[in-house]
Amino acid sequence: MSEYAHSESLVSPQWVADHLANPSVRVAEVIWGDSDNWGTAAYSSGHIPGAVAWDFATDLQDPERNDIADQARLEALLGRSGITPDTTVVVYSGLSNLLATFAFWLLKVYGHRDVRLLDGDRQKWLTDGRPLSGATPTIAATVYQAQPCNERLRARRAEVLHAVGQPGYLLVDARSAEMFSGVDPAGTARGGHIPGAVNLAARWGTSPDGSFDTWRVPTVGQDGTFKSAAELRALVENLGVTPDKAIITYCVRGGLSTHAWFVLTQLLGYPDVREYDRSWVEWGNQEDTPIEQ
């Protein structure tokens, strides 16, 4: 992992196993819904010992405001998770770590210093045959004080509109090729992509019965761990994604695009990358936003 720009942001399953008893390390599994692979059922069936559960839809976002968690909501989450500003937070999830990279990005937005991602996601821990726990940990709460929202890591719709067609800017669409082309509108009023965007295309993974299983992202290998820095650099530069540009990542609702944001900022060290977290759920449901197909 030393080949990556910020190798400290990525930890192996062995590193996590070696630090399970360390009181200055808190592990969080990010869940969504009741899926057996990435939801409450998965966490209940067995998680990394001592890991707390964070809900993507209600802990990391505010459903009433239809926005990311505000500072107070995040402070409450970290406080009941027993986290202080000095805690090393390790996040992981199913679904190719897409929920976990969103959590990583959100903690960075609010200034948490030491956040790390488990390489290979939940499945890698399971495949390695490492121990699991079905118990919800008992944790002493803390009072957490977050930093104000760092808007330099986030793009709003107005900023995306400004970037369209402007030299020096590049939009990276991390959805599938079908969504990018408009064949699949991803449950929104209009399908397509933001004009000028390039497609770092993910693929649907299916179970033997044909149902959706997970997203297959082009930045990881067969075992779910990240490709080498050289491979990642070649992958994105082939799309014209270079570090001299101001880059905005987007997808459907923030999972695939924060995964791309993590690759560009933490693994490749790109200096100017913002995440459009409202993504296509917002853009594709507006009447006045430009769309290409």
Residue 205 placed within a domain? yes
Mean pLDDT over residues 160-181, rounded?
97
pTM: 0.97
- Residue-wise pLDDT for 199-225, tens only, equals 999 998 888 887 888 999 999 999 999
Of residues 126 and 2, more confidence is placed in 126
Does 278 lie in the same domain as 160? yes
Same domain, 48 and 161: no
120 and 158, same domain (yes or no): no
Which of these, 207, 218, 210, lies nearest to 256 by C-alpha position? 218
CB 283 within 8 A of CB 157: yes
Percent of the chain with pLDDT strictly greater than 70: 100
**20, 101: one domain:** yes
Do 77 and 160 belong together in one domain? Answer: no
Q: Are residues 159 and 279 in the same domain?
A: yes
Average pLDDT, the chain: 96
- What's the CA gap between 179 and 161, in Å, rounded? 20
Q: How confident is the model at residue 276 (pLDDT cuts 50, 70, 90)?
A: very high
| Total domains, the chain | 2
26's tokens: 């808190």
Q: Which domain holds residue 93?
A: 7-127
Tell me the per-residue pLDDT of 49-67, one tens digit each, with 9 for 90 and over: 999 999 999 999 999 998 9
Model pLDDT, residue 164: 97
Kindly report, residue by residue over 80-108, the tens digit of the pLDDT.
Answer: 999 999 999 999 999 999 999 999 999 99
Q: Is 223 helix (H, G, I), strand (E, B) or coil?
A: coil
Asked if residue 2 has pLDDT above 80, the reply is no
Last residue of a domain, one of 127, 145, 162: 127
Residue 278 lies in a domain: yes
Give a yes or no: residue 70 inside a domain. Answer: yes
Q: Which residues are catalytic?
A: 251
Do 15 and 120 lie in a common domain?
yes
**291 in a domain, yes or no?**
no
Same domain, 97 and 159: no
CATH code: domain of residue 11: 3.40.250.10
| 31 lies in some domain | yes
Residue 289, domain member (yes or no): no
59 lies in some domain: yes
Mean pLDDT of 6-28: 98
- The average pLDDT across 256-265 equals 98
| Nearest CA-CA partner of 118 in 236, 240, 38, 224 | 224
Q: How many CB atoms lie within 10 A of CB 28?
A: 26
For the chain, the farthest-separated pair of C-alpha atoms sits apart, in whole angstroms, at 53
In a domain, 173, yes or no: yes
For residue 68, give the 3-state DSSP assignment.
strand
Give me the mean pLDDT over the 182-190 stretch: 95
